[in-house]
A and B are shown apart, each in its own frame.
With several copies, the nearest count.
Chain A
Amino acid sequence: MRQFYGTSLATPFMLGTAQYPSPAILADAFRQSAASVATVSVRRESAGERAGTAFWSMIRDLDVHVLPNTAGCHSASEAVTTAKMARELFETDWIKLEVIGHTDSLQPDPFGLVDAARQLVADGFKVFPYTTEDVVLADRLLDAGCEVLMPWGAPIGTGLGLINPYGLRSLRAQFPDVPMVIDAGLGVPSQAAQAMEMGFDAVLLNTAVAKAGDPVMMAVAFARAIEAGQAAVRADPMTPRDMAAPSTPLIGKAFLT
């Protein structure tokens, strides 16, 4: 499995921490799925609230890699400031860089994304950019110093799966050595398996697990699917063919008519 900024992950499953019915269910989802990375955010804290401390200690107990995001930022400067606050709070130079360019689709803004990536890399961050399947944008992000790409499967929270397999395949083929994570848009495990089968290195999701009827079971389901897709690539799948071919040999068949 490819490394992410020199880090080998125990599993290629990155899981969000938002929207769970309870902290206990969140923790259980991580433990039972063996997700190896947890995405987190920074939000306003009131005096005496101490919500952050409670959340943070819970996450720390999960003993996973923490990947803070810049969710909701619509400009490079906002994202950069948010990243710096996150680095101080979470004591990590990893940052999931989101610069949203379009409110309905939450699509990344290619321009703000590259701008922010360049600033953050210069400041010593290890940037995980949430991007599209655009190969030119990918090239710019790599030029800016990103060593990982996180193309979307579909718009955040839609659960539509991989809406542009052709584009994602082209992206994967164009940069064979770059670690890539399919981030956002997945709804069911088969889509995560498909992403791994296409050669992506990991999968990041949140809503599909947190909003399932049983988030813990769904987290495990995704974990299994990701293992399945990863193993499938290593096992070298058969080549699909248009015409049928018998699996049971015809030779030796009894003549009975």
Chain B
Amino acid sequence: MKITVNGDPVEIEAGSVTAVLAKLGYGDTKVATAVNGVFVPASQRDDTALVAGDALEIVAPRQGG
């Protein structure tokens, strides 16, 4: 299916957020996620299925003011 990951179009096999993160190669990187603008806690990534057209955001700690 087609989704967007951090703004880029990606063709990937359907699955949970956890599965998609794994396929994308995030491994155990410390990230936080949101789908279609809604926060998905790590605890709910297994139970959150991504469907075609979903927008997945994957963020990590950065510098800030």
| Residues of A participating in the B interface, judged by any CB pair closer than 8 Å | 16-20, 26, 39-53, 55-56, 59, 68-69, 71, 77-78, 81, 84-86, 88-90, 156, 184, 206-207, 246-249, 252, 254-257
Tell which of B6, B29, B38, B39 touches A44, judged by Cβ atoms closer than 8 Å.
B6
Question: A92 CA to B42 CA in the complex, in Å?
Answer: 15
Nearest chain A residue, comparing its CB with the CB of B24: A47
Beta-carbon contact of B33 and A71 below 8 Å: no
Beta-carbon contact of A88 and B42 below 8 Å: yes
Interface: B58 (CB within 8 A): yes
Nearest chain A residue, comparing its CB with the CB of B7: A255
Tell which of B29, B41, B55 touches A88, judged by Cβ atoms closer than 8 Å.
B41
The 10 closest A-B pairs by CB, nearest first: A52-B60, A247-B65, A41-B64, A16-B65, A206-B65, A85-B32, A45-B60, A47-B25, A18-B63, A84-B39
Beta-carbon contact of A59 and B61 below 8 Å: yes
Contacts of A69 in B (CB 8 A): 64-65
Tell which of B32, B33, B42 touches A86, judged by Cβ atoms closer than 8 Å.
B32
Given A47-B25, A52-B30, A254–B65 Cβ distance below 8 Å? no
Beta-carbon contact of A256 and B65 below 8 Å: no
Given A46-B6, A255-B55, A90–B61 Cβ distance below 8 Å? yes
Beta-carbon contact of B32 and A88 below 8 Å: yes
Q: Count of chain B residues with Cβ under 8 Å from any Cβ of A?
A: 27
Given A50-B29, A88-B41, A89-B32, A16–B61 Cβ distance below 8 Å? no
Residue pairs across A and B with Cβ atoms less than 8 A apart, 5 shown, are: A18-B64, A19-B63, A53-B29, A88-B41, A246-B65
Q: Which of B2-57 contact A (CB under 8 A)?
A: 6-7, 24-27, 29-34, 37-39, 41-42, 55, 57
Given A42-B32, A45-B31, A254-B6, A81–B64 Cβ distance below 8 Å? no
Contacts of A55 in B (CB 8 A): 60-63
Given contacts A207-B65, A252-B62, 6 further A-B contacts (CB under 8 A): A41-B65, A48-B25, A48-B29, A247-B65, A248-B64, A254-B34
Chain B min CB distance to A142 (Å):
24
Question: A165 CA to B38 CA in the complex, in Å?
Answer: 40
Interface: B59 (CB within 8 A): yes
